[in-house]
Structure 1
Protein backbone atom coordinates (compact mmCIF):
# COMPACT_ATOMS: atom_id res chain seq x y z
CA UNK A 1 0.00 0.00 0.00
CA UNK A 2 1.74 3.13 -1.23
CA UNK A 3 1.74 6.45 0.60
CA UNK A 4 1.66 8.14 -2.82
CA UNK A 5 -2.03 7.29 -3.24
CA UNK A 6 -4.20 10.24 -2.27
CA UNK A 7 -7.07 9.73 0.21
CA UNK A 8 -10.36 8.65 -1.35
CA UNK A 9 -13.04 11.08 -2.39
CA UNK A 10 -16.76 10.39 -2.69
CA UNK A 11 -19.33 10.82 -5.43
CA UNK A 12 -22.79 9.73 -6.48
CA UNK A 13 -24.71 8.47 -9.49
CA UNK A 14 -28.44 8.25 -10.00
CA UNK A 15 -29.90 4.85 -10.86
CA UNK A 16 -32.77 4.30 -13.31
CA UNK A 17 -35.43 4.50 -10.58
CA UNK A 18 -33.99 7.71 -9.12
CA UNK A 19 -32.11 6.04 -6.26
CA UNK A 20 -28.81 7.69 -5.32
CA UNK A 21 -25.81 5.36 -5.33
CA UNK A 22 -22.83 6.72 -3.42
CA UNK A 23 -19.27 5.57 -3.97
CA UNK A 24 -15.70 6.04 -2.80
CA UNK A 25 -13.11 6.90 -5.45
CA UNK A 26 -9.34 6.56 -5.25
CA UNK A 27 -6.38 6.46 -7.63
CA UNK A 28 -5.88 7.38 -11.28
CA UNK A 29 -5.98 5.59 -14.62
CA UNK A 30 -8.55 3.33 -16.30
CA UNK A 31 -11.71 2.83 -14.25
CA UNK A 32 -12.32 -0.24 -12.08
CA UNK A 33 -15.54 -0.86 -10.14
CA UNK A 34 -15.47 -3.05 -7.01
CA UNK A 35 -18.81 -4.46 -5.78
CA UNK A 36 -18.89 -5.53 -2.13
CA UNK A 37 -20.51 -8.65 -0.72
CA UNK A 38 -23.26 -9.21 1.83
CA UNK A 39 -23.26 -7.54 5.26
CA UNK A 40 -20.48 -5.30 3.99
CA UNK A 41 -20.07 -1.81 2.54
CA UNK A 42 -17.50 0.15 0.56
CA UNK A 43 -15.46 0.80 3.73
CA UNK A 44 -14.49 -2.88 3.94
CA UNK A 45 -12.58 -2.81 0.63
CA UNK A 46 -10.18 0.06 1.35
CA UNK A 47 -7.07 -2.12 1.27
CA UNK A 48 -8.09 -3.82 -1.98
CA UNK A 49 -8.90 -0.46 -3.59
CA UNK A 50 -5.54 1.03 -2.58
CA UNK A 51 -3.72 -1.99 -4.01
CA UNK A 52 -5.22 -1.12 -7.40
CA UNK A 53 -5.12 2.66 -7.07
CA UNK A 54 -1.60 3.28 -8.40
CA UNK A 55 -2.65 1.97 -11.82
CA UNK A 56 -6.44 2.49 -11.86
CA UNK A 57 -9.18 4.83 -10.81
CA UNK A 58 -11.12 2.65 -8.39
CA UNK A 59 -14.82 3.17 -7.65
CA UNK A 60 -16.26 1.31 -4.66
CA UNK A 61 -20.01 1.90 -4.34
CA UNK A 62 -22.20 1.25 -1.34
CA UNK A 63 -24.80 -1.05 -2.84
CA UNK A 64 -28.34 0.23 -2.32
CA UNK A 65 -29.63 0.13 1.23
CA UNK A 66 -26.20 0.84 2.70
CA UNK A 67 -24.10 3.83 3.69
CA UNK A 68 -24.06 6.63 1.11
CA UNK A 69 -26.73 5.01 -1.09
CA UNK A 70 -30.51 5.15 -1.04
CA UNK A 71 -32.90 2.48 0.21
CA UNK A 72 -33.59 -0.89 -1.39
CA UNK A 73 -37.05 0.36 -2.35
CA UNK A 74 -40.37 -1.45 -2.63
CA UNK A 75 -39.59 -3.17 -5.95
CA UNK A 76 -36.16 -4.54 -5.01
CA UNK A 77 -34.61 -7.38 -7.00
CA UNK A 78 -31.66 -8.25 -9.21
CA UNK A 79 -32.86 -5.83 -11.90
CA UNK A 80 -32.43 -2.90 -9.48
CA UNK A 81 -28.92 -4.00 -8.56
CA UNK A 82 -27.99 -4.28 -12.24
CA UNK A 83 -29.40 -0.83 -12.97
CA UNK A 84 -27.25 0.60 -10.16
CA UNK A 85 -24.09 -0.94 -11.64
CA UNK A 86 -25.07 0.15 -15.14
CA UNK A 87 -25.48 3.74 -13.94
CA UNK A 88 -21.99 3.67 -12.43
CA UNK A 89 -20.45 2.15 -15.58
CA UNK A 90 -22.19 4.70 -17.79
CA UNK A 91 -21.23 7.75 -15.72
CA UNK A 92 -17.61 6.80 -14.95
CA UNK A 93 -16.73 5.05 -18.21
CA UNK A 94 -15.19 2.21 -16.19
CA UNK A 95 -14.95 -0.95 -18.31
CA UNK A 96 -13.40 -3.20 -15.63
CA UNK A 97 -15.64 -4.75 -12.96
CA UNK A 98 -15.00 -7.03 -9.98
CA UNK A 99 -17.57 -8.42 -7.55
CA UNK A 100 -17.37 -10.38 -4.29
CA UNK A 101 -20.01 -12.91 -3.18
CA UNK A 102 -23.45 -11.33 -3.75
CA UNK A 103 -21.66 -8.45 -5.48
CA UNK A 104 -20.23 -11.08 -7.83
CA UNK A 105 -23.76 -12.21 -8.65
CA UNK A 106 -24.70 -8.65 -9.57
CA UNK A 107 -21.57 -8.23 -11.68
CA UNK A 108 -22.23 -11.49 -13.55
CA UNK A 109 -25.85 -10.65 -14.22
CA UNK A 110 -25.06 -7.14 -15.43
CA UNK A 111 -22.28 -8.36 -17.72
CA UNK A 112 -24.77 -10.56 -19.59
CA UNK A 113 -26.24 -7.55 -21.34
CA UNK A 114 -24.12 -4.45 -20.72
CA UNK A 115 -21.50 -3.96 -23.47
CA UNK A 116 -19.70 -1.35 -21.36
CA UNK A 117 -18.16 -4.12 -19.22
CA UNK A 118 -15.09 -5.43 -21.07
CA UNK A 119 -13.39 -7.39 -18.31
CA UNK A 120 -15.16 -9.12 -15.43
CA UNK A 121 -13.64 -10.71 -12.33
CA UNK A 122 -15.63 -12.38 -9.56
CA UNK A 123 -14.54 -13.77 -6.20
CA UNK A 124 -16.80 -16.62 -5.06
CA UNK A 125 -20.14 -15.30 -6.31
CA UNK A 126 -23.02 -16.70 -4.24
CA UNK A 127 -24.15 -19.18 -6.86
CA UNK A 128 -27.25 -20.67 -5.33
CA UNK A 129 -28.33 -22.08 -8.69
CA UNK A 130 -25.50 -24.62 -8.24
CA UNK A 131 -26.57 -25.46 -4.70
CA UNK A 132 -23.73 -23.57 -3.02
CA UNK A 133 -26.06 -21.35 -1.00
CA UNK A 134 -28.93 -23.25 0.62
CA UNK A 135 -31.92 -21.03 1.31
CA UNK A 136 -33.70 -22.86 4.13
CA UNK A 137 -32.29 -20.42 6.71
CA UNK A 138 -34.11 -17.40 5.26
CA UNK A 139 -37.46 -17.61 7.15
CA UNK A 140 -35.81 -17.92 10.58
CA UNK A 141 -33.27 -15.22 9.67
CA UNK A 142 -36.00 -12.75 8.72
CA UNK A 143 -38.02 -13.61 11.85
CA UNK A 144 -35.02 -12.88 14.10
CA UNK A 145 -34.41 -9.59 12.31
CA UNK A 146 -38.06 -8.63 12.83
CA UNK A 147 -37.57 -9.40 16.53
CA UNK A 148 -34.52 -7.07 16.69
CA UNK A 149 -32.11 -9.96 17.34
CA UNK A 150 -29.30 -9.22 14.87
CA UNK A 151 -26.73 -11.51 16.49
CA UNK A 152 -29.13 -14.46 16.39
CA UNK A 153 -29.86 -13.67 12.74
CA UNK A 154 -26.15 -13.78 11.87
CA UNK A 155 -25.84 -17.14 13.62
CA UNK A 156 -28.78 -18.51 11.64
CA UNK A 157 -27.30 -17.24 8.36
CA UNK A 158 -23.80 -18.54 9.06
CA UNK A 159 -24.96 -21.94 10.27
CA UNK A 160 -27.41 -22.23 7.38
CA UNK A 161 -24.82 -21.41 4.71
CA UNK A 162 -22.00 -23.30 6.48
CA UNK A 163 -19.86 -20.21 6.00
CA UNK A 164 -17.61 -20.74 9.06
CA UNK A 165 -16.61 -23.93 10.87
CA UNK A 166 -16.86 -22.35 14.35
CA UNK A 167 -20.57 -21.70 13.90
CA UNK A 168 -21.11 -25.39 13.24
CA UNK A 169 -19.56 -26.55 16.52
CA UNK A 170 -20.19 -23.77 19.07
CA UNK A 171 -23.58 -23.48 20.84
CA UNK A 172 -25.91 -20.66 19.87
CA UNK A 173 -25.88 -19.08 23.34
CA UNK A 174 -22.10 -18.71 23.35
CA UNK A 175 -22.05 -17.43 19.77
CA UNK A 176 -24.72 -14.84 20.63
CA UNK A 177 -22.70 -13.56 23.61
CA UNK A 178 -19.58 -13.27 21.46
CA UNK A 179 -21.37 -11.55 18.58
CA UNK A 180 -23.24 -9.04 20.77
CA UNK A 181 -19.95 -8.09 22.43
CA UNK A 182 -18.33 -7.67 19.00
CA UNK A 183 -21.19 -5.50 17.73
CA UNK A 184 -20.86 -3.16 20.72
CA UNK A 185 -17.08 -2.81 20.33
CA UNK A 186 -17.32 -2.34 16.57
CA UNK A 187 -19.83 0.50 16.94
CA UNK A 188 -17.46 2.29 19.32
CA UNK A 189 -14.58 2.04 16.84
CA UNK A 190 -16.40 3.31 13.74
CA UNK A 191 -14.86 6.18 11.78
CA UNK A 192 -16.95 9.02 10.29
CA UNK A 193 -18.82 7.85 7.22
CA UNK A 194 -18.61 4.15 8.10
CA UNK A 195 -21.59 1.85 8.54
CA UNK A 196 -21.93 -0.37 11.61
CA UNK A 197 -22.26 -4.12 11.30
CA UNK A 198 -25.50 -3.86 13.30
CA UNK A 199 -26.89 -1.69 10.49
CA UNK A 200 -25.56 -3.99 7.75
CA UNK A 201 -26.95 -7.26 9.12
CA UNK A 202 -30.56 -6.56 8.02
CA UNK A 203 -29.42 -6.00 4.43
CA UNK A 204 -28.71 -9.73 4.18
CA UNK A 205 -32.45 -10.37 3.86
CA UNK A 206 -32.30 -8.53 0.52
CA UNK A 207 -29.26 -10.49 -0.61
CA UNK A 208 -31.23 -13.61 0.27
CA UNK A 209 -33.89 -12.50 -2.18
CA UNK A 210 -31.44 -12.18 -5.06
CA UNK A 211 -29.92 -15.57 -4.12
CA UNK A 212 -33.37 -17.08 -4.55
CA UNK A 213 -34.07 -15.11 -7.72
CA UNK A 214 -30.85 -16.15 -9.42
CA UNK A 215 -31.28 -19.75 -8.27
CA UNK A 216 -34.28 -20.01 -10.59
CA UNK A 217 -32.20 -18.92 -13.62
CA UNK A 218 -30.42 -21.20 -16.05
CA UNK A 219 -26.91 -20.08 -15.22
CA UNK A 220 -24.47 -17.89 -17.08
CA UNK A 221 -23.78 -19.65 -20.38
CA UNK A 222 -24.56 -16.38 -22.19
CA UNK A 223 -21.34 -14.85 -20.86
CA UNK A 224 -19.34 -17.08 -23.16
CA UNK A 225 -21.16 -15.67 -26.20
CA UNK A 226 -19.86 -12.13 -25.70
CA UNK A 227 -16.76 -11.56 -27.78
CA UNK A 228 -15.85 -8.39 -25.89
CA UNK A 229 -15.77 -9.92 -22.40
CA UNK A 230 -12.88 -11.57 -20.57
CA UNK A 231 -13.71 -13.37 -17.31
CA UNK A 232 -11.56 -14.19 -14.27
CA UNK A 233 -12.87 -16.57 -11.59
CA UNK A 234 -11.29 -16.28 -8.13
CA UNK A 235 -11.66 -18.34 -4.97
CA UNK A 236 -9.86 -19.20 -1.75
CA UNK A 237 -8.75 -22.71 -0.93
CA UNK A 238 -10.00 -22.33 2.65
CA UNK A 239 -13.52 -21.59 1.47
CA UNK A 240 -16.16 -24.23 2.39
CA UNK A 241 -16.46 -26.95 -0.28
CA UNK A 242 -19.95 -25.96 -1.53
CA UNK A 243 -18.69 -22.61 -2.81
CA UNK A 244 -15.60 -24.17 -4.39
CA UNK A 245 -17.83 -26.75 -6.05
CA UNK A 246 -19.99 -23.94 -7.39
CA UNK A 247 -16.90 -22.27 -8.84
CA UNK A 248 -16.02 -25.55 -10.55
CA UNK A 249 -19.51 -25.65 -12.05
CA UNK A 250 -19.27 -22.04 -13.21
CA UNK A 251 -15.91 -22.74 -14.81
CA UNK A 252 -17.45 -25.61 -16.77
CA UNK A 253 -20.14 -23.20 -17.95
CA UNK A 254 -17.46 -20.67 -18.95
CA UNK A 255 -14.63 -22.78 -20.40
CA UNK A 256 -12.72 -19.72 -21.66
CA UNK A 257 -12.66 -18.06 -18.24
CA UNK A 258 -9.39 -17.91 -16.33
CA UNK A 259 -9.28 -19.26 -12.78
CA UNK A 260 -7.06 -18.47 -9.82
CA UNK A 261 -7.21 -20.08 -6.36
CA UNK A 262 -5.57 -18.52 -3.30
CA UNK A 263 -4.11 -21.19 -1.00
CA UNK A 264 -4.22 -19.40 2.37
CA UNK A 265 -7.49 -17.46 2.38
CA UNK A 266 -11.22 -18.15 2.39
CA UNK A 267 -14.43 -16.38 1.45
CA UNK A 268 -13.54 -13.11 3.21
CA UNK A 269 -10.10 -12.95 1.57
CA UNK A 270 -10.69 -9.78 -0.49
CA UNK A 271 -11.84 -7.78 2.53
CA UNK A 272 -10.02 -9.10 5.60
CA UNK A 273 -7.88 -12.05 4.49
CA UNK A 274 -5.25 -10.94 1.98
CA UNK A 275 -6.71 -8.13 -0.14
CA UNK A 276 -3.25 -7.16 -1.38
CA UNK A 277 -2.75 -10.60 -2.93
CA UNK A 278 -6.20 -10.48 -4.52
CA UNK A 279 -5.39 -7.01 -5.81
CA UNK A 280 -2.16 -8.19 -7.42
CA UNK A 281 -4.06 -10.81 -9.41
CA UNK A 282 -6.66 -8.25 -10.44
CA UNK A 283 -4.00 -5.82 -11.62
CA UNK A 284 -2.41 -8.54 -13.76
CA UNK A 285 -5.78 -9.60 -15.23
CA UNK A 286 -6.97 -6.09 -16.01
CA UNK A 287 -3.60 -5.21 -17.61
CA UNK A 288 -3.63 -8.16 -20.02
CA UNK A 289 -4.79 -7.48 -23.59
CA UNK A 290 -8.23 -8.77 -24.53
CA UNK A 291 -8.19 -12.30 -25.96
CA UNK A 292 -10.25 -12.30 -29.16
CA UNK A 293 -12.09 -15.57 -29.72
Structure 2
Protein backbone atom coordinates (compact mmCIF):
# COMPACT_ATOMS: atom_id res chain seq x y z
CA UNK A 1 0.00 0.00 0.00
CA UNK A 2 1.25 3.49 -0.80
CA UNK A 3 2.03 5.52 2.32
CA UNK A 4 -0.06 8.41 0.92
CA UNK A 5 -3.17 6.27 1.31
CA UNK A 6 -2.61 6.00 5.06
CA UNK A 7 -3.34 8.81 7.51
CA UNK A 8 -1.77 8.97 10.95
CA UNK A 9 -3.35 9.89 14.29
CA UNK A 10 -3.00 9.24 18.01
CA UNK A 11 -5.24 8.65 21.04
CA UNK A 12 -4.52 8.52 24.75
CA UNK A 13 -4.95 5.29 26.67
CA UNK A 14 -6.44 5.33 30.16
CA UNK A 15 -3.05 5.97 31.82
CA UNK A 16 -2.23 8.85 29.46
CA UNK A 17 0.12 6.90 27.19
CA UNK A 18 -0.18 7.83 23.52
CA UNK A 19 -1.28 5.03 21.18
CA UNK A 20 -0.61 5.93 17.58
CA UNK A 21 -2.32 4.39 14.59
CA UNK A 22 -2.62 4.46 10.81
CA UNK A 23 -6.00 4.66 9.12
CA UNK A 24 -7.29 3.88 5.63
CA UNK A 25 -10.46 2.91 3.77
CA UNK A 26 -14.16 3.64 4.01
CA UNK A 27 -17.12 2.02 5.70
CA UNK A 28 -17.57 0.43 9.16
CA UNK A 29 -14.48 0.63 11.36
CA UNK A 30 -12.22 -2.38 11.94
CA UNK A 31 -9.25 -2.28 14.32
CA UNK A 32 -6.37 -4.62 13.37
CA UNK A 33 -4.01 -5.61 16.21
CA UNK A 34 -0.63 -6.98 15.19
CA UNK A 35 1.32 -9.81 16.80
CA UNK A 36 4.81 -10.28 18.24
CA UNK A 37 7.84 -8.83 16.40
CA UNK A 38 5.43 -6.73 14.35
CA UNK A 39 4.16 -3.15 14.23
CA UNK A 40 1.10 -1.40 12.83
CA UNK A 41 2.65 -1.38 9.36
CA UNK A 42 2.89 -5.18 9.35
CA UNK A 43 -0.71 -5.43 8.13
CA UNK A 44 -0.87 -2.86 5.34
CA UNK A 45 -1.75 -5.53 2.76
CA UNK A 46 -4.61 -6.78 4.93
CA UNK A 47 -5.78 -3.19 5.38
CA UNK A 48 -5.64 -2.66 1.63
CA UNK A 49 -7.73 -5.79 1.04
CA UNK A 50 -10.40 -4.59 3.51
CA UNK A 51 -10.31 -0.88 2.70
CA UNK A 52 -12.88 -0.91 -0.11
CA UNK A 53 -15.63 -1.80 2.41
CA UNK A 54 -14.17 -0.98 5.82
CA UNK A 55 -12.29 1.84 7.51
CA UNK A 56 -9.22 0.07 8.86
CA UNK A 57 -7.31 1.25 11.93
CA UNK A 58 -3.77 -0.09 12.43
CA UNK A 59 -2.52 0.78 15.94
CA UNK A 60 1.01 0.25 17.16
CA UNK A 61 0.96 -1.72 20.39
CA UNK A 62 3.12 -0.19 23.13
CA UNK A 63 6.87 -0.01 22.62
CA UNK A 64 6.56 0.17 18.85
CA UNK A 65 6.42 2.82 16.16
CA UNK A 66 3.90 5.56 16.91
CA UNK A 67 3.01 4.47 20.45
CA UNK A 68 4.45 5.14 23.89
CA UNK A 69 6.46 2.76 26.09
CA UNK A 70 5.39 -0.17 28.20
CA UNK A 71 4.67 0.62 31.84
CA UNK A 72 6.45 -1.18 34.68
CA UNK A 73 3.23 -2.90 35.74
CA UNK A 74 2.17 -3.70 32.17
CA UNK A 75 -0.50 -6.41 32.00
CA UNK A 76 -3.10 -7.75 29.62
CA UNK A 77 -5.48 -5.17 31.10
CA UNK A 78 -3.12 -2.42 29.88
CA UNK A 79 -3.27 -3.90 26.37
CA UNK A 80 -7.07 -4.01 26.49
CA UNK A 81 -7.22 -0.38 27.64
CA UNK A 82 -4.97 0.63 24.73
CA UNK A 83 -7.20 -1.23 22.29
CA UNK A 84 -10.32 0.26 23.89
CA UNK A 85 -8.95 3.77 23.30
CA UNK A 86 -8.61 3.07 19.58
CA UNK A 87 -11.98 1.32 19.38
CA UNK A 88 -13.63 4.34 21.00
CA UNK A 89 -11.91 6.83 18.69
CA UNK A 90 -12.91 4.73 15.68
CA UNK A 91 -16.42 3.93 16.85
CA UNK A 92 -15.50 0.33 16.03
CA UNK A 93 -17.47 -2.79 16.89
CA UNK A 94 -15.16 -5.03 14.82
CA UNK A 95 -11.58 -6.13 15.51
CA UNK A 96 -8.98 -8.50 14.09
CA UNK A 97 -5.98 -9.79 16.03
CA UNK A 98 -3.10 -12.15 15.32
CA UNK A 99 -1.04 -14.25 17.76
CA UNK A 100 -0.47 -12.23 20.98
CA UNK A 101 -2.58 -9.45 19.44
CA UNK A 102 -5.30 -12.04 18.93
CA UNK A 103 -5.13 -12.95 22.61
CA UNK A 104 -5.61 -9.27 23.49
CA UNK A 105 -8.58 -8.95 21.12
CA UNK A 106 -10.21 -12.05 22.61
CA UNK A 107 -9.72 -10.73 26.15
CA UNK A 108 -11.21 -7.42 25.00
CA UNK A 109 -14.21 -9.28 23.60
CA UNK A 110 -14.66 -10.87 27.03
CA UNK A 111 -14.44 -7.60 28.97
CA UNK A 112 -15.75 -4.89 26.62
CA UNK A 113 -19.38 -4.73 25.55
CA UNK A 114 -18.57 -2.62 22.48
CA UNK A 115 -17.12 -5.47 20.40
CA UNK A 116 -19.72 -7.32 18.34
CA UNK A 117 -17.47 -9.38 16.03
CA UNK A 118 -13.82 -10.39 16.37
CA UNK A 119 -11.64 -12.32 13.95
CA UNK A 120 -8.58 -14.09 15.37
CA UNK A 121 -5.63 -15.64 13.54
CA UNK A 122 -3.79 -18.21 15.70
CA UNK A 123 -4.42 -16.39 19.01
CA UNK A 124 -1.69 -17.09 21.56
CA UNK A 125 -3.84 -18.71 24.26
CA UNK A 126 -2.21 -21.80 25.82
CA UNK A 127 -2.78 -24.05 28.81
CA UNK A 128 0.35 -23.78 30.99
CA UNK A 129 1.91 -20.47 32.07
CA UNK A 130 5.16 -21.94 33.44
CA UNK A 131 7.11 -22.47 30.16
CA UNK A 132 6.30 -18.91 29.13
CA UNK A 133 7.86 -17.46 32.28
CA UNK A 134 10.97 -19.62 32.68
CA UNK A 135 12.97 -17.91 29.91
CA UNK A 136 12.18 -14.30 30.78
CA UNK A 137 15.07 -13.77 33.24
CA UNK A 138 17.67 -14.95 30.73
CA UNK A 139 16.01 -12.91 27.98
CA UNK A 140 16.10 -9.74 30.11
CA UNK A 141 19.77 -10.31 31.00
CA UNK A 142 20.74 -10.72 27.35
CA UNK A 143 18.83 -7.58 26.38
CA UNK A 144 20.57 -5.63 29.18
CA UNK A 145 23.92 -6.87 27.87
CA UNK A 146 23.06 -5.68 24.37
CA UNK A 147 22.92 -9.24 23.05
CA UNK A 148 19.61 -8.86 21.22
CA UNK A 149 20.33 -11.75 18.86
CA UNK A 150 20.93 -14.06 21.81
CA UNK A 151 17.77 -12.79 23.50
CA UNK A 152 15.76 -13.53 20.35
CA UNK A 153 17.11 -17.08 20.30
CA UNK A 154 16.14 -17.45 23.97
CA UNK A 155 12.61 -16.26 23.23
CA UNK A 156 12.30 -18.50 20.18
CA UNK A 157 12.93 -21.57 22.31
CA UNK A 158 10.93 -20.19 25.25
CA UNK A 159 7.87 -19.47 23.13
CA UNK A 160 8.21 -22.85 21.39
CA UNK A 161 8.66 -21.21 18.00
CA UNK A 162 11.69 -23.20 16.89
CA UNK A 163 11.05 -25.90 14.26
CA UNK A 164 12.49 -29.28 15.14
CA UNK A 165 15.38 -28.99 12.67
CA UNK A 166 16.61 -25.78 14.33
CA UNK A 167 16.79 -27.36 17.78
CA UNK A 168 19.86 -29.39 16.79
CA UNK A 169 21.83 -26.29 15.75
CA UNK A 170 24.27 -25.12 18.45
CA UNK A 171 23.02 -22.04 20.29
CA UNK A 172 26.11 -19.99 19.41
CA UNK A 173 25.58 -20.62 15.71
CA UNK A 174 21.88 -19.75 16.03
CA UNK A 175 22.82 -16.47 17.69
CA UNK A 176 25.28 -15.58 14.91
CA UNK A 177 22.67 -16.45 12.26
CA UNK A 178 20.11 -14.27 14.04
CA UNK A 179 22.53 -11.33 14.24
CA UNK A 180 23.11 -11.58 10.48
CA UNK A 181 19.33 -11.56 9.99
CA UNK A 182 19.04 -8.40 12.11
CA UNK A 183 21.79 -6.67 10.14
CA UNK A 184 20.15 -7.64 6.84
CA UNK A 185 16.78 -6.35 8.07
CA UNK A 186 18.33 -3.01 9.08
CA UNK A 187 20.10 -2.70 5.74
CA UNK A 188 16.86 -3.26 3.81
CA UNK A 189 14.62 -1.16 6.05
CA UNK A 190 13.24 2.18 4.94
CA UNK A 191 13.93 5.38 6.89
CA UNK A 192 10.78 5.14 9.03
CA UNK A 193 10.65 1.35 9.34
CA UNK A 194 10.28 -0.36 12.71
CA UNK A 195 13.20 -2.80 12.55
CA UNK A 196 13.45 -6.24 14.10
CA UNK A 197 16.27 -4.99 16.36
CA UNK A 198 13.96 -2.26 17.67
CA UNK A 199 11.16 -4.76 18.22
CA UNK A 200 13.26 -7.41 19.98
CA UNK A 201 12.95 -6.02 23.55
CA UNK A 202 9.14 -6.06 23.30
CA UNK A 203 9.19 -9.87 23.27
CA UNK A 204 9.46 -9.85 27.08
CA UNK A 205 5.95 -8.45 27.33
CA UNK A 206 4.63 -10.96 24.79
CA UNK A 207 5.87 -13.83 26.94
CA UNK A 208 4.41 -12.27 30.08
CA UNK A 209 1.08 -11.68 28.33
CA UNK A 210 0.86 -15.28 27.12
CA UNK A 211 1.71 -16.54 30.63
CA UNK A 212 -0.93 -14.28 32.19
CA UNK A 213 -3.71 -15.58 29.94
CA UNK A 214 -2.57 -19.22 29.97
CA UNK A 215 -5.18 -21.65 31.22
CA UNK A 216 -8.03 -19.10 31.21
CA UNK A 217 -10.15 -20.94 28.64
CA UNK A 218 -13.26 -21.18 30.81
CA UNK A 219 -13.38 -17.40 31.17
CA UNK A 220 -14.09 -17.10 27.45
CA UNK A 221 -17.40 -18.95 27.82
CA UNK A 222 -18.76 -15.48 28.63
CA UNK A 223 -17.77 -13.90 25.29
CA UNK A 224 -20.95 -12.58 23.71
CA UNK A 225 -19.32 -11.41 20.46
CA UNK A 226 -19.29 -13.52 17.33
CA UNK A 227 -15.81 -14.99 16.83
CA UNK A 228 -14.03 -16.12 13.67
CA UNK A 229 -11.22 -18.43 14.78
CA UNK A 230 -8.57 -19.01 12.11
CA UNK A 231 -5.29 -20.86 11.70
CA UNK A 232 -3.04 -22.46 9.14
CA UNK A 233 -2.00 -26.06 8.54
CA UNK A 234 1.63 -24.87 8.64
CA UNK A 235 1.08 -22.57 11.63
CA UNK A 236 2.46 -22.96 15.14
CA UNK A 237 1.86 -26.52 16.30
CA UNK A 238 1.98 -25.37 19.92
CA UNK A 239 -1.19 -23.30 19.37
CA UNK A 240 -3.30 -25.72 17.30
CA UNK A 241 -4.68 -27.83 20.22
CA UNK A 242 -5.78 -24.70 22.04
CA UNK A 243 -7.75 -23.42 19.07
CA UNK A 244 -9.67 -26.68 19.36
CA UNK A 245 -10.30 -25.86 23.02
CA UNK A 246 -11.35 -22.28 22.25
CA UNK A 247 -13.77 -23.50 19.60
CA UNK A 248 -15.49 -25.61 22.25
CA UNK A 249 -15.79 -22.90 24.89
CA UNK A 250 -16.66 -19.85 22.77
CA UNK A 251 -20.47 -19.55 22.53
CA UNK A 252 -20.56 -18.02 19.03
CA UNK A 253 -17.60 -19.37 17.11
CA UNK A 254 -16.89 -20.07 13.45
CA UNK A 255 -13.72 -21.97 12.57
CA UNK A 256 -11.51 -21.75 9.47
CA UNK A 257 -8.25 -23.65 8.96
CA UNK A 258 -6.27 -22.64 5.86
CA UNK A 259 -4.44 -25.40 4.05
CA UNK A 260 -0.80 -24.51 3.47
CA UNK A 261 -0.74 -21.23 5.43
CA UNK A 262 1.65 -20.49 8.29
CA UNK A 263 1.56 -18.32 11.41
CA UNK A 264 2.40 -15.16 9.50
CA UNK A 265 -0.24 -15.54 6.80
CA UNK A 266 -2.12 -12.35 7.65
CA UNK A 267 1.03 -10.20 7.71
CA UNK A 268 3.02 -8.37 5.05
CA UNK A 269 6.10 -10.21 3.70
CA UNK A 270 9.48 -9.39 5.17
CA UNK A 271 11.22 -9.52 8.54
CA UNK A 272 9.87 -12.49 10.46
CA UNK A 273 7.48 -13.38 7.62
CA UNK A 274 9.69 -13.98 4.56
CA UNK A 275 7.17 -16.36 3.01
CA UNK A 276 4.32 -13.87 2.95
CA UNK A 277 2.64 -12.48 -0.16
CA UNK A 278 -0.36 -10.41 -1.19
CA UNK A 279 -2.04 -13.60 -2.44
CA UNK A 280 -1.65 -15.29 0.94
CA UNK A 281 -2.92 -12.24 2.83
CA UNK A 282 -5.83 -12.09 0.39
CA UNK A 283 -7.00 -15.56 1.42
CA UNK A 284 -7.21 -14.48 5.05
CA UNK A 285 -8.74 -11.12 4.16
CA UNK A 286 -11.51 -12.75 2.12
CA UNK A 287 -12.66 -14.80 5.12
CA UNK A 288 -12.40 -11.82 7.47
CA UNK A 289 -14.38 -9.59 5.10
CA UNK A 290 -17.12 -12.19 4.62
CA UNK A 291 -17.37 -12.72 8.38
CA UNK A 292 -17.60 -9.00 9.19
CA UNK A 293 -20.28 -8.54 6.51
CA UNK A 294 -22.54 -11.26 7.95
CA UNK A 295 -25.72 -9.89 9.47
- What is the Cα deviation at residue 175 of structure 1? 1.9
CA deviation profile, 1:238-284 (whole Å, cap 9, x unmatched): 12322100111111111530000111111111114322211111011
- What is the Cα deviation at residue 153 of structure 1? 1.2
Residue from 251, 256, 274 that aligns with 1:260: 256
1:233 corresponding residue in structure 2: 229
What is the total number of aligned residue pairs between the two structures? 284
Q: Report the secondary structure of 1:43's partner residue.
A: helix
Q: Report the secondary structure of 2:252's partner residue.
A: coil
What's the C-alpha RMSD, in Å, of the aligned pairs?
A: 2.1
**CA pair 131-245 structure 1, distance change in 2 beyond 3 A:** farther
1:136 corresponding residue in structure 2: 134
Contact 2:132 2:208 in 1 (8 A): no
2:281 corresponding residue in structure 1: 275
Matched, 1:286 2:292: yes
- What is the Cα deviation at residue 173 of structure 1? 2.4
Q: Report the secondary structure of 2:261's partner residue.
A: coil
1:196 corresponding residue in structure 2: 195
Name stretches of at least 5 consecutive residues in structure 1 with no aligned partner: none
| Distance in 2 between residues matched to 1:74 and 1:240, nearest whole Å | 30
> TM-score of the superposition, structure 2-length normalised?
0.90
Contact 2:228 2:254 in 1 (8 A): yes
Matched, 1:105 2:111: no
- What is the Cα deviation at residue 219 of structure 1? 3.8
Contact 1:96 1:120 in 2 (8 A): yes
- What is the Cα deviation at residue 6 of structure 1? 6.2
1:64 corresponding residue in structure 2: 62
CA deviation profile, 1:30-79 (whole Å, cap 9, x unmatched): 11110001111011111111111111111010001111001112221111
- What is the Cα deviation at residue 105 of structure 1? 1.1
- What is the Cα deviation at residue 146 of structure 1? 1.8
2:273 corresponding residue in structure 1: none
- What is the Cα deviation at residue 222 of structure 1? 3.7
| Distance in 1 between residues matched to 2:288 and 2:238, nearest whole Å | 24
> TM-score of the superposition, structure 1-length normalised?
0.90
**CA pair 119-221 structure 1, distance change in 2 beyond 3 A:** same
Question: What does 1:141-156 align with in structure 2 at a 5 Å threshold?
Answer: 141-156=139-154
Q: Report the secondary structure of 1:16's partner residue.
A: coil
**CA pair 268-174 structure 1, distance change in 2 beyond 3 A:** same
Contact 1:13 1:88 in 2 (8 A): yes
